[in-house]
């Protein structure tokens, strides 16, 4: 997987096969393009370009750099699509987005951001937009998306026991309070770390989320699960969406891929704990 800096550095050298166009005019393509290992017809790319310029350009910009006129001042800022990653993808964080991830984000939106749920774009236009977006991200010229992180069955039958285990995983094994708020006292965290055989370094103002670097172009605050919207969680898909965010990580941010780093039972325990912190459907 390339770094964001390497991806942006490739922009200058990337030949996108576009005919000349104005600053925001829908681009023309001189032939099909192989993107993410798939040959995409020029007609599909041109249809996607037209639909993108109408629906997405105002925030994401004509070049996909997140610098559209309506994106100024949004916090977090619009995604820089040139990087080829989405914040809540199903593949490991930092890898290329999968088509279904873009469709899910567009259709469901991201709570607490300027990305609304788009239900006024046809399925055909959205499918074409997804392909057009790949022309803005040089990585798609020579990489293919990684497989989606597979969700295992939830092994917990006792939600309270699962949340209790998740509390220990959050504070002592994952040490999530390094960025997210701590939801236990220092003494409780020390006791949990001792029980888990780990060492946890306290941080100042542990009850507040940290501002962490991101590929959005500015630092962003880590989620406070008691107060903040759960951005990628859809009604009716709550547990699955939380599992995906924890297991796959969050592209463009400091949230790593936890799949394989923690046992599956602990990943699901974390999901139950996060659900207990933010019990309302969002």
User: pLDDT tens across 52-76, in order?
Assistant: 999 999 999 999 999 999 988 888 8
Question: Does one domain contain both 58 and 88?
Answer: yes
**Is the pLDDT reported for residue 12 higher than 60?**
no
Q: Where are the beta strands (DSSP E) in 12-142?
A: 33-35, 38-40
Of 207, 252, 223, the C-alpha closest to 89 is 252
For residue 206, being part of any structural domain is answered with yes
| Threshold 0.75, pTM exceeds | yes
Decide: helix, strand or coil at residue 261.
coil
In whole angstroms, what is the distance from residue 177 CA to residue 62 CA?
Answer: 38
Q: Which of 141, 172, 188 is the last residue of a domain?
A: 141
- The CATH number covering residue 62 comes to 1.10.760.10
In this prediction, residues 110-138 reach a mean pLDDT of 95
Residue 18 — φ and ψ, nearest 5°? -100, 140
Give the least confident one: 25-39, 142-156, 217-231: 217-231
In this prediction, residues 155-170 reach a mean pLDDT of 98
- Percentage of the residues of the chain whose pLDDT score is greater than 70: 90
For residue 245, being part of any structural domain is answered with yes
CB 245 within 8 A of CB 232: yes
Question: Does one domain contain both 124 and 229?
Answer: no
* Total of domains in the chain: 2
Question: Does one domain contain both 174 and 243?
Answer: yes
Q: Which of 141, 175, 200 is the last residue of a domain?
A: 141
Quick one: pLDDT at residue 3? 46
Q: pLDDT category, 280, cuts 50, 70, 90?
A: low
Arithmetic mean of pLDDT over the chain: 89
In whole angstroms, what is the distance from residue 62 CA to residue 200 CA?
Answer: 45
Decide: helix, strand or coil at residue 136.
helix
Residue 170 — φ and ψ, nearest 5°? -60, -45
Question: Does one domain contain both 125 and 49?
Answer: yes
For residue 6, being part of any structural domain is answered with no
* CA–centroid distance for 95 within its chain: 10
Range of the domain at 49: 24-141
Question: Does one domain contain both 226 and 272?
Answer: yes
Q: Which of 141, 172, 202 is the last residue of a domain?
A: 141
Interior angle at CA 81, CA 123 and CA 261, nearest 5: 95
Of 114, 96, 108, 10, the C-alpha closest to 60 is 114
- Strand 33-35 relative to strand 38-40, pairing: antiparallel
Q: Where are the beta strands (DSSP E) in the chain?
A: 33-35, 38-40, 211-212, 220-221
Question: Does one domain contain both 113 and 223?
Answer: no
Question: Does one domain contain both 187 and 109?
Answer: no
Question: Does one domain contain both 262 and 222?
Answer: yes
Question: Does one domain contain both 38 and 109?
Answer: yes
In this structure, the number of other CB atoms found within 10 A of the CB of residue 171 comes to 25
Question: Does one domain contain both 261 and 234?
Answer: yes
Q: pLDDT category, 6, cuts 50, 70, 90?
A: very low
In whole angstroms, what is the distance from residue 28 CA to residue 63 CA?
Answer: 14
For residue 69, being part of any structural domain is answered with yes
In whole angstroms, what is the distance from residue 77 CA to residue 143 CA?
Answer: 26
Residues 86-98 pLDDT 10s: 889 999 999 999 9
CB 36 within 8 A of CB 145: yes
List Cα–Cα distances, 85 to 51, 131, 147, 266, in angstroms: 20, 14, 14, 26
Q: Tell me which residue has tokens 């172009």.
A: 217
Residues 167-193 pLDDT 10s: 999 999 999 999 999 999 999 999 999
């Amino acid at each position: 997987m390339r770094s964001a800096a390497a991806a942006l550095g490739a922009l200058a050298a990337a030949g996108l096969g576009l005919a000349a166009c104005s600053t925001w005019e829908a681009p023309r393509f001189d032939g099909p393009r192989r993107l993410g290992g798939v040959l995409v017809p020029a007609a599909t790319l041109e249809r996607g370009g037209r639909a993108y310029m109408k629906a997405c350009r105002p925030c994401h910009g004509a070049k996909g750099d997140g610098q559209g006129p309506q994106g100024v001042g949004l916090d977090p800022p619009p995604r820089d699509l040139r990087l080829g990653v989405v914040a809540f993808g199903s593949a490991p964080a930092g890898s290329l987005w999968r088509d279904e991830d873009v469709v899910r984000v567009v259709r469901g939106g991201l709570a607490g951001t300027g990305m609304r749920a788009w239900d006024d774009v046809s399925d055909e236009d959205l499918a074409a937009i997804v392909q057009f977006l790949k022309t803005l991200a040089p990585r798609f010229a020579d990489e293919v998306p990684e497989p989606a992180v597979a969700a295992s069955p939830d092994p917990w039958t006792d939600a309270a026991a699962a949340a209790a285990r998740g509390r220990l995983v959050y504070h002592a094994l994952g040490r999530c309070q390094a960025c997210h708020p701590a939801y236990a006292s220092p003494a409780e965290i020390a006791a949990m770390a001792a029980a888990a055989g780990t060492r946890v370094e306290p941080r100042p103002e542990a009850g507040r989320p940290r501002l962490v670097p991101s590929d959005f172009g500015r630092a962003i605050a880590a989620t406070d699960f008691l107060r903040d919207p759960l951005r990628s969680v859809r009604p009716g898909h709550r547990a699955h969406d939380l599992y995906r965010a924890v297991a796959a990580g969050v592209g463009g941010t400091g949230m790593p891929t936890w799949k394989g780093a923690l046992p599956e039972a602990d990943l699901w325990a974390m999901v139950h704990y996060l659900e207990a912190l933010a019990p309302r459907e969002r």
